[in-house]
Amino acid sequence: MLNFLPPRLADAVRHVNLNLLYELRIRAGKPLRANVGGRYVYLGPSGICGESGALIPTKKEVEEALFAASDYSVYAVEEQMRSGFVTARYGERVGVAGTAVTEGGRVHTVRDVTSLCIRIPHEIHGCADRIYRVCLEAGPVSLLIMAPPGEGKTTILRELCRLVSTKTACNLLVCDERGELSAGDLGATADVIRFADKLTAFTAGIRAMRPDVIVTDELLPSDYPAVRRAIEAGVKVFASAHLTSLEGVTERIFERYILLDGLGNVKQILNAEGEDVD
């Protein structure tokens, strides 16, 4: 994990408990920051410190980290770069900020990279127990996990996969568009399609893999037709979305809606009518 970091930055991270490290912010010429245990801190040569003692990454270190994260071939992950991120070997999602290069009105890649936002995947057994007990103990239902970025949606989806696989032996198909959702133990009955868009993964997956449940992350309004077709075909769908309330849901095609409040904390479990079902 994080084996693509340049030596100075890797040394600073070694002083932090990786089980509590959720995000690393590397900005050229600015203090090194990290989300540790749900709060942002500065990192220096000996770990957590004040701002004045923080390491200041260079532009060269930013570029080195990105090059190493892309397995030393930015061209091999060009499609990901168009979306503004690269997925490293162990599922770390490396968000990229810099100068977008367009071609034919479409972003072709990102050059002159100055900032990286590295999200570290985690397995937290037990974080989805309440959701399983309330929503899934009697059998799978389609559900949507809602929260702002960085609130643990992907971690909960991973744990739901493991729980459903272990407890029911259902066939799960994980549509992992960004290579992050499948970083961890998904259970013995889970199959994974990586780096395909949701429409392609859902369509091919239903035809070829005969899943009982499809699991996917970061749903957009444009993804709803694929989800609707899966549900109409009798396949349950577990998904997440960057939403903070039921009012933001484009179509209420799920049976349960889970609102998070803080890192992985379940605030409410609602039905499609907005009624609390917990």
Q: pLDDT tens digit string along 18-45?
A: 989 999 999 999 999 999 988 999 999 9
CB 170 within 8 A of CB 164: yes
Domains and CATH numbers, the chain: 7-119 (3.30.450.90), 129-270 (3.40.50.300)
Alpha helices in 110-222, H assignment, sequence order: 129-131, 153-168, 198-209
Amino acid (1-letter code) at residue 29: G
What are the pLDDT digits (tens) for 153-176?
A: 999 999 999 999 999 999 999 999
> Which residues, given as ranges, of the chain have pLDDT below 50?
none
For residue 59, give the nearest of 98, 101, 114 by alpha carbon. Answer: 114
Longest pairwise C-alpha distance within the chain = 58
Interatomic CA distance for residues 159 and 238, integer angstroms: 12
Residues contacting 228, CB < 8 A, separation 6+: 251, 253
Whole-prediction pTM: 0.83
Q: Which has the closest alpha carbon to 149: 103, 112, 126, 117?
A: 117
Label the pairing between strands 39-44 and 47-49.
antiparallel
The span from the CA of 236 to the CA of 240, in Å, is 14
